[in-house]
Structure 1
Amino acid sequence: MTRTRALLAIAPFALLLGSAAGCGSDGDGSAAPGGSALPGSQAPSDAPPVSGASEPSGGASPTGGSGGGGDSGRCHHGEVRLAVQDAPGGGAAGSQYTWIVLTNTSSRTCTVYGFPGVSWVTGDSGQQVNKPAERDTAVSPKRVELAPGKAAHAQVGSPQTGNFGDECKPVQVRGYRVYLPDETAADFVPAPQTVCSADGVGLAHVGPVVAGTSQ
């Protein structure tokens, strides 16, 4: 009876020890359902960077200005020397004709297209007399290519003052103020002559620039 009672008293302690050993093996196995990771620990550390956000595209670089567009080949002020010569035949129909000769003094080939701006000027200050020359649209403009040292011309017709009587108010001028087509800077070209000073009376007329300096 004494041995049996002793065995019965030891049994509960054995059951408690077995249960404790089972709990220790569970902790080395799978994580408990209620466990949580450290903040951010599940974010991948090798995620690829965003591409193209701060790097210029290879096709975004602008092209140069040598593609032949716009005014890249136009003759500019300072590249052309201006002079006046008598037009072949001199004059006709009550007008005196002269040529404004344009010579390319630059080291590049350039082009001229259209009508130059021409006005009479007098005095040291270059004061304009009457209105600018009107365009002679009977001749269609063509693009003229000027190699270095080559020349072209535009013809200017100045009516004789005697054609207009007292309303003409003739004055002596020193020459022309000339703007190349599409340019905003002008040159003075000596060409002394007598012209009408009354506004709009006996205006000069100018043709487009054409190639060459002889007919």
Structure 2
Amino acid sequence: MKYRIAVLALAPLLLLAAGCGPGQGIAGPSSAPPVEMSSAPPVVVSSAPPGSAEPTGAQPASDRCHTGELKVTARDAPGGGAAGSLYSWLVFTNVSGRTCSLYGYPGVSWLDGPSGQQVNDPFQRTSDVTPAKVVLAPQAAAHALLRQGQPDLFEPDCHAVDVAGFRVYPPDETGAVFVPWKARACGAKGVDLGDVAPIVAGLSE
């Protein structure tokens, strides 16, 4: 009888031992769960100094002279006028601190005031001079030749009016400047349109 009681008392202990595999023992305090590997992307640390931009592969800035870097003035062309035509120069001076370039034709039209209305159609481009790239160091100048007919020779279709100057767009620029130049010009569209030649280096003919 005592033997049976001893066996029954040991039974729970035997069952508990049977449930433990190799290396296992009686459960103790719970251990921490395994650490999962994070799926977040790695943090990229920039090597650029604070406040600087990373290289983007962008093309270098253009060397073109921009409107704000130029002083544009007008003057009589050497020789004045001939055969019913009046000649003048638009002079482009590089007032910036860098070397820049001009290529091609400026856009030119008459205005009745510094911020007024355009008179007639814009000057037309000539085709007898081949454009060439003009490199301007700081304070260097270049010019474009303008030709205008004598308005009186185109009456009564001309409807001549007083004009205050030119609106000038440097080549490939969208910003214009007003250049004072008082004159008479045809107010009727398409009559006695002026001509503009491409910009050439220097201030000699």
TM-score range, shorter chain: 0.7 to 0.9
For residue 159 of structure 2, the aligned residue among 147, 163, 169 is 169
Deviation at 1:67, TM superposition (A): 4.2
Greater gyration radius? 1
Query: How much has 1:103 moved relative to structure 2?
Result: 0.2
- Please provide the CA RMSD for this pair: 3.3
Moved more, 176-185 or 203-212: 176-185
Contact kept in structure 1, 2:112 and 2:119, CA below 8 Å: yes
Aligned partner of residue 86 in structure 2, secondary structure: strand
Q: Is the 2:162–2:182 contact (alpha carbons within 8 Å) kept by the matching residues of 1?
A: yes
Deviations 1:86-115 (A, max 9, x none): 334434554222110000111122222332
My pick for the range that moved more, 101-110 or 175-184, is 175-184
1:210 aligns with 2:204: no
- Once residues 30 and 97 of structure 1 are traced to their aligned partners in structure 2, the CA distance between those partners, rounded to angstroms, is 112
Aligned residues: 192
Alpha-carbon separation, structure 2, partners of 1:110 and 1:205: 25
Q: Does 1:27 align with 2:16?
A: yes
- 1:78-117 superposed matches below 5 A: 78-92=68-82, 94-117=84-107
| 1:109–1:164 distance in 2 versus 1, CA, 3 Å | same
1:180 matches 2:170: yes
Partner in structure 1 of residue 55 of structure 2: 63
CA distance in 2, matches of 1:106, 1:130: 33
Give structure 2 stretches of 5+ with no counterpart: 22-30, 48-52
Return the alpha-carbon distance in structure 1 between the equivalents of residues 95 and 204 of structure 2.
Answer: 19
Q: 1:146 aligns with which of 116, 136, 156?
A: 136
Identity %: 43
Separation of aligned partners in 2, 1:76 and 1:100: 16
Q: How far apart are 1:78 and its partner, in Å?
A: 2.7
How far apart are the structure 2 equivalents of 1:181 and 1:83? 15
> Structure 1: how far apart are the matches of 2:55 and 2:82?
52
Say which SS state the counterpart of residue 78 (structure 1) adopts. helix
Q: Deviations over 1:4-38 (max 9, x none)?
A: xxxxxxxx431442354254144246448xxxxxx
Q: Compute the displacement of 1:57 (Å).
A: 7.2
Who is 2:181 aligned against? 191
Contact 2:94–2:141 (8 Å) recurs in 1: yes
1:161-211 deviation per Cα after TM superposition (whole angstroms, max 9, x unaligned): 244231112233232121222333322222232222211100012122222
Normalised by the length of structure 2, the TM-score is: 0.74
Q: Compute the TM-score of the two structures, normalised by the length of structure 1.
A: 0.71
